[in-house]
């Protein structure tokens, strides 16, 4: 346990007064009266699912990101699974992705009987490194799944070039990056398929939900079929045409997003620009405040992108601190700052270790980052006082744990 010098302010974890009296979560949804009214109107309508609000939400979403097609799903994980299916992955195939992500990014590859192959990340952005991807391509590789970590777009131009050279599909996991831009283009209009999540901590929420955007009509048809049990038509179309006949043409799933959820998503989408602006304002305040805090490293943002700031992950310079990441984390939680860690590298989860034999040490950049990462509260509903509390708590804890000169 680190020793707190007497001259430092006593941390809450050691009996001092916490910065906040109540816990500030790392993320949460914002639901307005407009949202509630929209959902209530759908509940009073004829369609609770497979109805007109689904198409309305999809069309608005596609227009927002600049894609030809947007296909909604019951969750971001379902959307990932559908994208991997649409790309044609099957048993014996491989897809390359990052270890520094939520497990769903790799799990969706397993769902299709294919094998996830990990490649290490860049030290600055913590996004998948294209050079590491290149050396892992085999004759079995069929797709690349880069992740826009924390909301910073991956190097899409490089991945699309690799894909063209090797006849691969790029499936961008953009669960963190709705509204982000890469070289003046919106994420969602660049990769072969881009996957979004509408979990409550994301930029907009439908409760649970996801979306895949694409410019490919073939991918769009496969995605729609897959989310609807593999049936080639939907109930609304059949009712409009006065038909009953339908055919199941592939093995699909019930991954449909409801009209209830879409009616929540539509007004949320209309506020996306304001939500992004607030997140960027909070990130700027954090980065300015922490530049001079010993032991705290702020996220790097490359010049060619506009960050969406789903997360604000600091990294600890442990050589300058008397505490481990775990101690620093517990100290912030005691100050009622609801920090989190994103992520345990996927290959270090027991399932992946047991199935594939990972032992740790295979992806040193991702693993070193994991040992130092802490995600600070970041959501567009934060007040200025919430932001000030986070800055004060991080500064207080860092000062208590910094090595004396």
Q: Give residue-wise pLDDT tens across range 263-296.
A: 999 999 999 999 999 999 999 999 999 999 999 9
User: What pLDDT is stored for residue 6 in this prediction?
Assistant: 41
**Residue 17 annotated as catalytic:** no
pLDDT the model gives residue 245 = 81
Q: What is the mean pLDDT of the chain?
A: 96
Is residue 244 pLDDT above 80, yes or no? no
Q: What is the mean pLDDT of residues 112-124?
A: 98
Q: How far is CA 140 from CA 91, 134, 137, 235, in A?
A: 10, 13, 8, 38
Beta pairing partners, 340:
375
**Fold for domain 12-29+272-401?**
3.90.1150
pLDDT tens per residue, range 341-358 = 999 999 999 999 999 999
pLDDT at 158: 98
Find all residues with CB under 8 Å of 351, minimum gap 6, and list them.
Answer: none
DSSP label at 204? S
pTM over 0.85: yes
Please report which helix (H) or strand (E) contains residue 214, including its range.
Answer: strand 210-214
Q: What is the CA radius of gyration of the chain?
A: 22
Domain ranges across the chain: 12-29+272-401, 33-270
Among residues 53, 64, 142, 202, the one annotated as catalytic is 202
What tens digit of pLDDT does each residue of 56-70 get? 999 999 999 999 999
Say what the pLDDT of residue 395 is: 98
Give pLDDT tens digits for 296-333: 999 999 999 999 999 999 999 999 999 999 999 999 99
Tell me the CA distances in angstroms from 223 to 3, 33, 82, 332, 382, one per residue in order.
Answer: 56, 33, 6, 43, 36
Q: How far apart are CA 111 and CA 116, in angstroms?
A: 10
- The answer to whether domain 33-270 has CATH 3.40.640.10 is yes
């Amino acid at each position: 346990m680190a020793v707190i010098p007497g001259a430092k302010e006593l941390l809450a974890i050691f009996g001092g007064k916490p910065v906040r009296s109540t816990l500030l979560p790392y993320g949460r949804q914002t639901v307005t009266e407009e949202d509630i009214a929209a959902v209530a109107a759908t509940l009073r309508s004829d369609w609770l699912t497979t109805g007109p609000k689904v198409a309305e939400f999809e069309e608005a979403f596609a227009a927002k990101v600049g894609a030809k097609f947007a296909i909604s799903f019951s969750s971001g994980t379902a959307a990932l699974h559908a994208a991997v299916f649409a790309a044609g992955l099957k048993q014996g195939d491989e897809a390359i992705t990052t270890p520094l992500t939520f497990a769903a990014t790799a799990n969706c590859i397993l769902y299709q009987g294919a094998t996830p192959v990990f490649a290490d990340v860049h030290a600055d952005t913590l996004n998948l490194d294209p050079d590491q991807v290149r050396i892992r391509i085999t004759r079995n590789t069929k797709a690349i799944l880069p992740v826009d970590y924390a909301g910073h777009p991956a190097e899409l131009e490089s991945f699309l070039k690799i894909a063209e050279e090797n006849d691969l599909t790029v499936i961008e996991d953009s669960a963190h990056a709705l509204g982000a831009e890469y070289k003046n283009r919106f994420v969602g209009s660049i990769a072969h398929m881009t996957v979004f999540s509408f979990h409550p901590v994301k930029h907009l929420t439908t409760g649970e939900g996801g979306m895949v955007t694409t410019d490919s009509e073939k991918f769009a048809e496969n995605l729609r079929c897959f989310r609807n049990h593999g049936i080639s038509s939907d109930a609304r179309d059949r009712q409009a045409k006065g038909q009953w006949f339908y055919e199941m043409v592939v093995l699909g799933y019930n991954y449909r997003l409801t009209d209830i959820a879409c009616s929540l998503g539509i007004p949320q989408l209309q506020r996306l620009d304001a939500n992004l602006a607030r997140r960027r304002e909070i990130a700027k305040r954090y980065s300015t405040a922490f530049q001079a805090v010993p032991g705290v490293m702020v996220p790097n943002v490359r010049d060619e992108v506009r960050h969406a700031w789903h997360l604000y992950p600091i990294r600890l310079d442990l050589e300058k601190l008397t505490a481990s990441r775990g101690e620093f984390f517990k100290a912030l939680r005691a100050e009622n700052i609801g920090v989190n860690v994103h992520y345990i590298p996927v290959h270090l989860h027991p399932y992946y270790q047991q199935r594939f034999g990972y032992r740790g040490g295979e992806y040193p950049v991702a693993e070193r980052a994991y040992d130092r990462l802490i995600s600070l509260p970041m959501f567009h509903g934060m007040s200025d006082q919430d932001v000030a509390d986070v800055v004060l708590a991080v500064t207080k804890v860092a000062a208590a744990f910094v090595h004396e000169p």
